[in-house]
Amino acid sequence: MSSKHTPGPWAYQEDSDAYTHIVRGPNNRFICQLNQSTSAEIEANARLIAAAPELLEACQTFAEWLRREEGVGDLEAPWRGKRDTPEGEAAWREWYYENLRLCGLAQEQARAAIAKATGAIGAQQRTQPSNHPPCPGCFDTECNGECMENL
């Protein structure tokens, strides 16, 4: 999905004086400046604006996961009516693990964006999502299904 806004990441300019609340993008590009005030609400608004690209990314990932989940009943699904064949089972597993990955990624992106928006972590400390889908048995991203081998 393409967008016309300045690409992220954006950051709240921490080294501004107490009256200036500035949000900058890549290469120190100016995004916006909020009212000159010492108000905690104005600073919180600036932090929320700075997190906008990450919040959008998390919403887009969640929307893709939801689109795939809603398509489970799709009659065109590659495993529909073939789940009892090796090919059908492989297609279903591919879909399933990709959905687990997307779900986990959306959760991690949302948590990181919320932390950034609320000031819980700085822009440079944003956590990186795991590249591994969670295990279907224990939901741990580091397990890789090992917990299910002896079932």
Q: Which tens digit of pLDDT belongs to each residue from 105-137?
A: 999 999 999 999 998 864 334 334 445 555 655
> What is the pTM assigned to this prediction?
0.70
Give the SS3 label for residue 32: strand
d(CA 102, CA 95): 11
3-class secondary-structure state, position 31: strand
C-alpha 78 chain-centroid distance: 27
Q: Determine the Cα–Cα distance for residues 103 and 53; give it in Å rounded to an integer.
A: 19
Q: Residues 41, 27: contact at Cβ < 8 Å? A: no
32-81 residue pLDDT tens = 999 877 788 888 999 999 999 999 999 999 999 988 887 766 656 666 67
Residue 9 in this model has a pLDDT that exceeds 70: yes
Task: State how far Cα 72 lies from the chain centre.
Answer: 22
**Domain limits of the chain?**
1-50, 51-151
Question: What is the distance between the alpha carbons of residues 121 and 127, in angstroms, rounded to a whole number?
Answer: 9
The CA R_g of the chain, rounded to the nearest whole Å, is 21
